[in-house]
Amino acid sequence: MSVKTLENSELRIQLNAYGAEMQSFFNKKRKQECLWQADSRYWGRHAPILFPIVGRLANDELKHQNQSYPMSQHGFARDSLFKIISQTDTTIQFSLQSNENSLEQYPFHFELIVEYSLDSNKLTTTYIIRNPEKSILPASIGAHPAFNWPLLPDIDKSEHLIQFTHDEHSEIRRLDKGLLLQEKIKNPLNKNNLVLTDTLFEHDALIFDQLISREVKYSASNKLSLTLRFQDFPHLGIWTKPGASFICIEPWQGYSSPVNFDGEITEKPGILLIPAQSEIKKSFEIVLN
């Protein structure tokens, strides 16, 4: 495995070319790791990249032009070896291109570029999806970072919350066997605050598909906090496994197929349709406070 490090006076970030996955988000001033360290008893990943789908497809099959292709949850990027195309002390770019293996699952040519860049107390992650074809490219993209919960070992889990920039009144969505239920449930926020408890996640993730906020702050009793800014992403997932010591805060473009949808990938709710011979760029930030 090829693990690379970005570092400045405040942060040290470790990244693996396998999946282009962040494996450490280290607060140098407090000497404190903020990212979940992948205990396989609960979840063996750190911060996988979700591409070319977010969530699951019906029967784990992608359908296109009357053909079916096997596609596992969250797609194949998280289990692919990326090529490093540039690196400095504070910036790195990874690239994944369509290949023989990807075309068996996803019958489209593409290039996915993932860039990580440090600036003071901020990490910016940028995804660029390039479509070299003469037809549209259907795709979703999402981040899945898991932060330690508790953020600091001397603070109880019950003292953590996620604060949204706006009051979120819209009902949210849940999953059944990985697919999106049609029935919506009451938003669990108290105005703009989500007080974290294991019981919130007894039925899988909380999915905000009608989100107003594009920034949230994950805080530990006002002693340490992380702010996520995701202006380019219209959806958000929040998830953990009850009993685990992590909380995932996930900016998404797209989400699982609804339970009653088993159609063409270009018609899937939440999918991006990237025009021929063009590209889209989406970024989000993690700021250490």
User: Is 183 within the bounds of a domain?
Assistant: no
**Angstrom distance (rounded) from CA 132 to CA 136:** 9
Residues of the chain above pLDDT 70, percent = 100
Confidence of residue 1 (pLDDT cuts 50, 70, 90): low
User: Is 121 within the bounds of a domain?
Assistant: yes
What's the first-to-final CA gap in the chain, in angstroms? Answer: 31
Domain range for residue 101?
Answer: 3-153+237-288
User: Is 191 within the bounds of a domain?
Assistant: no
User: Is 195 within the bounds of a domain?
Assistant: no
Residues 217-237, buried b or exposed e (16+ Cβ, 10 A)?
Answer: bbbbbeebbbbbbbebbbbbb
pTM of the model as a whole: 0.97
**Angstrom distance (rounded) from CA 206 to CA 188:** 9
Mean pLDDT for the chain overall: 97
User: Is 267 within the bounds of a domain?
Assistant: yes
Residues of the chain above pLDDT 90, percent = 96
User: Is 180 within the bounds of a domain?
Assistant: no
**Angstrom distance (rounded) from CA 163 to CA 230:** 14
Q: What is the pLDDT of residues 187-196, one digit of tens each?
A: 999 989 999 9
Q: What is the pLDDT of residues 7-54, one digit of tens each?
A: 999 999 999 999 999 999 999 999 999 999 999 899 999 999 999 999
User: Is 117 within the bounds of a domain?
Assistant: yes
Task: Check: CB of residue 142 under 8 Å from CB of residue 228.
Answer: no
Number of domain units in the chain:
1
**Angstrom distance (rounded) from CA 234 to CA 249:** 13
Structure tokens at 206: 């909380």
Q: What is the CATH number of the domain that holds 11?
A: 2.70.98.10
User: Is 252 within the bounds of a domain?
Assistant: yes
Task: Check: CB of residue 12 under 8 Å from CB of residue 38.
Answer: no
